[in-house]
Amino acid sequence: MDSAVLLDILGNENRRRILRLLSHKPCYVTEISEYLGVSPKAVIDHLRKLEEAGLVESRTDDQRRKYFNISRNLRLEVDVSPYEFDMKSAYPASPSLDVSTCQYLSLNVQYGNQPDGREAEDDTETVSEAEAGEIATLAEELNCLEDLKSELSLAQRWVHGRITNVLDQLGEEVDENGQNRIRAEILAALAAGAETVRDVSRETDAPEHIVERHLTSMSERGIVKDNGGNWTLSG
Amino acid sequence: MDSAVLLDILGNENRRRILRLLSHKPCYVTEISEYLGVSPKAVIDHLRKLEEAGLVESRTDDQRRKYFNISRNLRLEVDVSPYEFDMKSAYPASPSLDVSTCQYLSLNVQYGNQPDGREAEDDTETVSEAEAGEIATLAEELNCLEDLKSELSLAQRWVHGRITNVLDQLGEEVDENGQNRIRAEILAALAAGAETVRDVSRETDAPEHIVERHLTSMSERGIVKDNGGNWTLSG
């Protein structure tokens, strides 16, 4: 989903309250209206926008009354700094994703089993010993995952702060009329192994003539070197 | 900063465009107005809201003309799932934070040096060999940090998906009238070592009488055990 659409949707207090309510349990329009103290008409309007964005969906119960629930797993990340305004929204990664292929990151969690698609239990049935064991394992996994989620969030904030620091430091060395950010990106692309103007342009998402202008200007100051069209860092 | 205030601010396309513009370089009102094709009056109104939220700040240049820049590092995370609507905003963690204390997470990056607060270089001066080396090191670090940021984001999406899966699975076992989420949280709190109703209530942010009701109902089904006020998982 487009991050801008998502921010437009979430930029409304009543829509956020509807989502919070639905995350606790599926609701009828009348329930939402009473809980929020908002007219059913206004609730229906918000629900329509949430449905159009694919965030909620409606079903009908045995009495053919329509109820609503959140239909989608979604994550939105926004980073703001003097050098950055970055919005990203994404569906959850597949549970079978192999996180161990990450280069800079290791996760020390047990990877749990996939759901086995078994039928739901009767709500009041006594559980067997094996089921109780499975529930305990799931509860432990949930506990680990929630701790890991906090650690990842902390790590993201640490990285965000470090990136700003590095850009501050690079800015002191290479800035020219506030063109710090693009220059830093060009240097990072060279550090990652990009050599030609075209490579760097693709890495940095900047037009080739802009990349070329910065490379030339930085080579005049001895920051980068041009080896016949193959650019490298001087240091 | 309050996540709700931040979402209200970001829920406007023109304010997002202003932030994107300012993340590239500090700007005068007239520049922003021309770039956005929006009247200076409307731009000033948006800037006022952004200033009140502490996201941008203004300075005056040598000719006493006012210009604006982003003043704050900030990160916003929103998680949406059938069980969750969670918004979190935070400043970057301190660069000196010891990420190695994380229990479930290891980061394989070199921790760079702190900024040394040196004066900015003249924009056109040639850099020394030592400076070129420092620039290359910074560019490499920036490159690593950006890769790490992507990996963390992927890991967060993976965790988000896993948590939803575990809640789905737990729901099959312990749900009673759509009270899945709170029950899962109670079980996770027990798995984390909470024993008394008070402990669990604090961990889960739910009132004690609600926690007690769920514990009692789950003990009747053999999911948890009451050992004289100390609760444990049966499995």
What pLDDT does residue B219 have? 92
Over 60: is that where the pLDDT of B122 sits? no
CB A53 within 8 A of CB A1: yes
DSSP codes, A47-110 = HHHHHHTTSEEEEE-TT--EEEEE---EEEEEEEETTEEEEEEEPPPPTT--GGG-SSEEE---
What pLDDT does residue A106 have? 82
Read off the pLDDT of each residue in B53-60 and give the average, rounded to a whole number.
Answer: 92
- Pairing between strand A230-233 and A74-81? unpaired
Q: Which residues of B touch A95 (CB under 8 A)?
A: 158, 161-162, 165
**CATH T-level topology, domain B3-70:** Arc Repressor Mutant, subunit A (1.10.10)
Which of A136-140, A189-193, B110-114 has the least mean pLDDT? B110-114
The yes/no answer on whether domain B175-233 falls in CATH 3.40.50.620 is no
Which of A163-167, B83-87, B120-124 has the least mean pLDDT? B120-124
* pLDDT tens track for A90-120: 877 666 666 667 778 888 776 555 545 455 5
Structural domain spans, chain B: 3-70, 75-116+126-160, 175-233
Q: Which amino acid is at A136?
A: A
Which one of A73, A178, A235 has the shortest CB-CB distance to B161? Answer: A73
Q: Decide if B156 and A222 are in contact by the 8 Å CB cutoff.
A: no
Distance between CA atoms of residues A55 and A60, nearest Å: 17
CB A112 within 8 A of CB B166: yes
Q: Decide if A85 and B129 are in contact by the 8 Å CB cutoff.
A: no
| Intrachain domains B3-70 and B175-233 with the same fold | yes
Q: How far is CA B115 from the centre of its chain?
A: 24
Q: Is the dihedral of CA B97, B101, B106, B108 positive or negative?
A: positive
Backbone angles phi, psi at A225, to 5 degrees: -125, 140
Q: Which residues of A touch B125 (CB under 8 A)?
A: 221
Instruction: Find which of A19, A152, A175, A214 to mutate to test the B interface (most B CBs within 10 Å of its CB).
Output: A152
ipTM: 0.81
Over 60: is that where the pLDDT of B114 sits? no
Q: Which residues of B touch A144 (CB under 8 A)?
A: 104
* pLDDT tens track for A107-163: 877 655 554 545 555 566 788 888 888 899 999 999 988 888 888 888 888 888 888
What pLDDT does residue A204 have? 86
